[in-house]
Amino acid sequence: MRGAGAIGVAANALARAEAQAASPAVSLAGIDITFNLKDGGRYQAVSQINLDVAPGEFVAVVGPTGCGKSTLLNAAAGLLQPSAGKVGILGEPLRGLNLKAGYLFQLDALMPWKTALQNVAVALESQGVTGKEADERARAWLARVGLRAFTDRYPHMLSGGQKKRVALAQVLIRDPKILLMDEPFGPLDAQTRQIMGNLLLDLWSKDRKAVMFVTHDLEEAISLSDRVVVMSAGPSAGIVGDYRVSLKRPRDIADIRLDKDFHEIHRQIWQTLKVEVQKAYAAGEGKDMVADGSHAGVGR
Amino acid sequence: MNGSYSRFRITLLQVLVAMLFLLCWHIATTTPLFAEPKKMQFFFSTPIDVLARTWRQFIGGEIWYHLGITLTETVLAFVFGATGGVLCGFLFARKELLAAVFDPYIKAANALPRVVLAPIFALWFGLGIWSKVALGFTLVFFIVFFNVYQGVREVSQTVLANARMLGMNERQLMRHVYWPAAMTWMFSSLHTSVGFALVGAVVGEYLGSSAGLGYKIHEAESVFDVTGVFSGMLILTIFVVILDTIVTMIENRLLVWRPGQASTSANG
């Protein structure tokens, strides 16, 4: 009896592990997100979104401004409750915040009153690592993102790119299984974006986390990812395209843009995206404002 | 700020302004240009007399006792007021119901001119230092309270969301996000609140006490000793300038992380 029971438990554990390995890192099924507007109306940002991100897969989500792609990311992060649908993380339904994921924000998210080192070290506190050990590991991570000499700087003493590096170290030091990125390199200049893109790919290639990368820059999306998902213009945005990017890795962001295959896939995706971008423009400024307002409301 | 002029030139002009002022004062009170010097001196004293009196007071040592009293009152008023302001501001910012319920009362209490409380405090706490500390407290408390309340409520949503995504629990958020934000705002009102602590102390002394700078000035006034009044004001000014310099030094040390370290004295 006892032996059989033990075997049963082991088999269960095995089955669970297998299920986890097989199930997607992020699974969005039938997601609707609706906001209550200040004037009493309702705004449906996205509707009926189905999207799976496999373990180790780098998925970029592109779409016109205000289409709700960041909103969707917030739902995957648990920062926002979808009004309908299911969010699954590594085979389990998401409850509360998604702490298996690291989230890289578009805006400055570092604590301005902490130095680069303190900002990174504090990320370990929720895992019970503090003091000297946290400092040492933070120092090592800052070195990996190329900030060895800047550990004692406060955020305001760092450039935009350097702040993003700190933010990256802050997220990665916790070793999340999933990376959620909301136009993280959006505010940076073109050269810095390329450098940061290469750094990201370099770090990602070491342990291949599942990545959901939101951007409005199609070139950035293609050069980084394995798969590009195109969202339609809001309101009630949905997925209108799903393209596999089979460019070989390792990639150099700057070089790969000169590749013939790159141009081909860019042309294909742009056919779809262009229509949505034009729709978004045609919808006018007013609609955009509403969409942006609702984003701000969920605490980006 | 004034990049086009050299520091030396500005200092020189500043000294010149002071000299000119003293010179005018001197001429007006020692020559029969406007009125009889004796009469003028009764109303305006003379710069030399005021400086000499001030010097004698510093040498004499008695003034140090009064300065010590005023300083003690200022520091106590600031410490109690700031502590109370930070705690209440923090609590109100985190408990919305509390803030909503108390809002009109806080506003009403803050609208009351605090000077009218001085006699009441003298009645309750006596003529010693505690009635002055209480007056200073009512001034400092509201400044710090409003600053901290606003500061905690306006913590960047991105910073907050990021901290939560890093797995921080409520206690850790408190320690790493809310508390530093509150302290920042407390320190950014430092110049103003220290200034008001001093105002509370001096006004309290002026209205009824037996020691302190306010008392000294009042004492001189009551016997029409204009030289004594001006000398007391000069000492008070020197005291304020020194206090303000110390506050600036503390502020620069504690707020190194803040961009464009601007002094907050403009708020005052």
Q: How is chain A split into domains, by residue range? A: 28-100+178-300, 109-175
Q: Provide, as residue numbers in chain A, all residues whose Cβ is less than 8 Å from the Cβ of B159.
A: 108-112
Band (pLDDT 50/70/90 cuts) for residue B238 is very high
- C-alpha distance from B226 to closest chain A C-alpha (Å): 50
Angle at which helices B213-222 and B190-207 pack, to 10 degrees?
A: 40
Q: Provide, as residue numbers in chain A, all residues whose Cβ is less than 8 Å from the Cβ of B163.
A: 111
- Minimal Cα distance from B170: which residue of A? A126
Q: Provide, as residue numbers in chain B, all residues whose Cβ is less than 8 Å from the Cβ of A163.
A: none
Band (pLDDT 50/70/90 cuts) for residue B181 is confident
Distance CA(A116)–CA(A158), nearest Å, equals 9
Give me the residue from A77, A126, A299 closest to B157, CB to CB. A299
What residue segments make up the domains of chain B, in order of their start? 1-44, 46-267
- The per-residue pLDDT for A18 is 57
CATH of A28-100+178-300 among 3.40.50.150, 2.102.10.10, 3.40.50.300, 3.90.226.10: 3.40.50.300
Give me the residue from B156, B157, B165 closest to A97, CB to CB. B165
Q: Under CATH, what is the fold of the domain B46-267?
A: MetI-like fold (1.10.3720)
Between these two residues, A21 and B15, which has the higher pLDDT value?
Answer: B15
pLDDT over 90 at B19, yes or no: yes
Q: Provide, as residue numbers in chain B, all residues whose Cβ is less than 8 Å from the Cβ of A299.
A: 157-158, 160-161
Q: Provide, as residue numbers in chain B, all residues whose Cβ is less than 8 Å from the Cβ of A156.
A: 257-259
CB contact under 8 A, A115 and B257: yes
Give me the residue from B165, B176, B256 closest to A111, CB to CB. B176
pLDDT over 90 at B5, yes or no: no
Q: Provide, as residue numbers in chain A, all residues whose Cβ is less than 8 Å from the Cβ of B167.
A: 97, 99, 123, 126-127, 174
- C-alpha distance from A289 to closest chain B C-alpha (Å): 19
H or E element, residue A192: helix A190-207
- What strands lie across the sheet with A58-62, from one edge to the other? A101-104, A178-182, A210-215, A58-62, A227-231, A239-244
Q: Provide, as residue numbers in chain B, all residues whose Cβ is less than 8 Å from the Cβ of A107.
A: 158
Band (pLDDT 50/70/90 cuts) for residue B261 is very low
Distance of CA A171 to the CA centre of its chain: 11
Q: With CA atoms as reference, report the closest residue to B118 among B210, B193, B200.
A: B200
CB contact under 8 A, A115 and B169: no
Per-residue pLDDT of B30-65, as tens digits, reads 988 888 888 888 999 999 999 999 999 999 888 999
Give me the residue from B158, B165, B258 closest to A107, CB to CB. B158
- The per-residue pLDDT for A283 is 79
Per-residue pLDDT of B77-106, as tens digits, reads 999 999 999 999 989 988 889 989 998 998
Tens-of-pLDDT digits for all 300 residues of chain A?
Answer: 444 445 555 556 655 555 555 689 999 999 999 998 888 888 889 999 999 999 999 999 999 887 889 999 999 999 999 999 999 999 899 999 999 999 999 998 999 999 999 999 999 999 999 999 999 999 999 999 999 999 999 999 999 999 999 999 999 999 999 999 999 998 889 889 999 999 999 999 999 999 999 998 999 999 999 999 999 987 888 999 999 999 998 999 889 999 999 999 999 999 999 999 988 888 765 444 444 433 333 333
- The per-residue pLDDT for A297 is 36
pLDDT over 80 at B2, yes or no: no
- The per-residue pLDDT for A289 is 44
The position carrying tokens 């400055």 is: A108
CB contact under 8 A, A101 and B177: no
A217 close to A273: Cβ distance less than 8 angstroms: no
Distance CA(A73)–CA(A178), nearest Å, equals 12
User: Of A89, A113, A118, A168, which to mutate for an interface test with B (greatest number of B Cβ within 10 Å)?
Assistant: A113
- The per-residue pLDDT for A300 is 31
ipTM for the complex shown: 0.83
CB contact under 8 A, A111 and B172: no
Per-residue pLDDT of B68-79, as tens digits, reads 999 999 999 999
Q: With CA atoms as reference, report the closest residue to A88 among A18, A33, A180, A26.
A: A26
pLDDT over 60 at B135, yes or no: yes
Q: What's the predicted TM-score (pTM) here?
A: 0.77
- The per-residue pLDDT for B12 is 95
